[in-house]
Amino acid sequence: MIKNTRTLGEFIIKNQLAFPFSTGELSSLINGIRLAAKVVNHEVNKAGLVDILGAYGETNIQGEKQQKLDVFANEKFIQALDNREIVCGIASEEEEDFVILNSDDKKNQNKYVVLIDPLDGSSNIDVNVSVGTIFSIYRRISPLGSPVQLKDFLQPGKDQVAAGYIIYGTSTMIVYSTGDGVNGFTLNPAIGSFYLSHPNMKFPEDGSIYSVNEGNYVHFPNGVKQYIKYCQKEEGNRPYSSRYIGSLVSDFHRNMIKGGIYMYPNSEIANDGKLRLLYECNPMAYIAEQAGGKASDGQSRILDIKPTELHQRVPFFCGSKNMVKKLEEYITTCQ
C-alpha cells in the first residue's frame, strides 16, 4: 500500500505559486526532467539484458571514458528539455560546450538554462551499483530574445532557482528543491508515477558516517588527513563508520538520511579536486543547504564560488553541518 498518495505532478501544481518569477514554465521544466528520468530508469533496469553496458568508445571533455548509458542519458535529457520549449540552453558534463536550444529569435524568449550530469557514477553500472542524475536550473541573465551565452551558465550556485538529483537504486527517486525545503519522490514502477515518500528531508546536524576514497589518503592535504584520524579515533560517539560507494548521488543520499559527511578533497594527483562545480557540487550544495546541511570547498561556501569555466573542478565537502564545520577547523589549523 502506498504511504502517500500525492504524486510529483500534483505536488508541482500545488506548489507552483511558490516558484518566484514563474508562470508555469519551471513546473513544466521539472516535469520534463521527470519524464526523462523514467526513460533513463527503464534503460538502467535493462542493463545486462540488452547491449547498453560498457564503454561507448569515446572520451568526454573530462578525459573520462564514456559509458553507453552516459551517452543515452545525455541524449534523453536534452531531448526532453528541448521538446518543452522552455530552456534556451543546456550545459552537460558529457558535452565540451553548452548546447543551444530553440535558437530562433521567437523561442529565445525562453528564460531558463539547465546544467546536468546525466549519469553520475556510470562506471558502477557494470557491477549493479546505484547511479544517478544531477541537475541544476538557473534563470538566464542574457537578454530575452538573444542567443544564450556562456555567462548564463557561469553563475554562482546561490543563484540557482532549483536543483535536484535522481537516484536509480533499489527504488528510483527524484529529490529536488526550489528553495523551499527538500522533498523526495519514489517511483511506483507498476503505474509509472512518482509519489511523495520523503517530505521535508533534513540532514541531521551531527552524523556518524564519513565517505571518502581512503585509497587516496596518502595524497590528501594534511588537514583532511587529520580530520580522518579524528573520525577514526575512539572517543565519545566515535569512531565513525566509513561508507563509500563511489557514486556521489548514492553517498549524498545516504548521508542526508542518516547523517554524515562526503569528502572529495584536492590532492597531489588532483590539484583542484575531481568533482565539477557546475554539474555536481553546486546542485548538491544547494540541496544540502535547503536540507539544513553545509557544503564547503574546505574554506568557503560552495554556493558563493564564482565559476570561471564550464568544467571547473573544486574540492568538495558536504553533509551534516557540525561535521563539515569540524573538517574546516582541521583544514584551517593545518595550513
Domains with residue ranges and CATH for the chain: 8-198 (3.30.540.10), 209-333 (3.40.190.80)
Q: Is 93 annotated as a binding residue?
A: yes
pLDDT tens for residues 229-266? Answer: 999 999 989 999 999 999 999 999 999 999 999 999 99
Q: Is 277 annotated as a binding residue?
A: no
Q: Is 267 annotated as a binding residue?
A: no
Q: Is 152 annotated as a binding residue?
A: no
What is the predicted pLDDT for the residue at 49? 39
What is the predicted pLDDT for the residue at 54? 46
Cis peptide before 239 (omega within 30 of 0): yes
Q: Average pLDDT, stretch 46-66?
A: 51
Percent pLDDT > 90 in the chain is 65
Q: Is 119 annotated as a binding residue?
A: yes
**21, amino acid identity:** F
pLDDT at 51 over 60: no
| Identity of the highest mean pLDDT range in 79-83, 128-132, 218-222 | 218-222
Q: Is 280 annotated as a binding residue?
A: yes
Q: Is 112 annotated as a binding residue?
A: no
Q: Is 171 annotated as a binding residue?
A: no
Q: Is 117 annotated as a binding residue?
A: yes
Q: Is 121 annotated as a binding residue?
A: yes
- Name the residue with higher pLDDT: 18 or 268: 268
What is the predicted pLDDT for the residue at 67? 67
Q: Average pLDDT, stretch 54-79?
A: 69
* Stated pTM of the model: 0.92
Q: Is 123 annotated as a binding residue?
A: yes
pLDDT tens for residues 308-330? Answer: 999 999 999 999 999 999 999 99
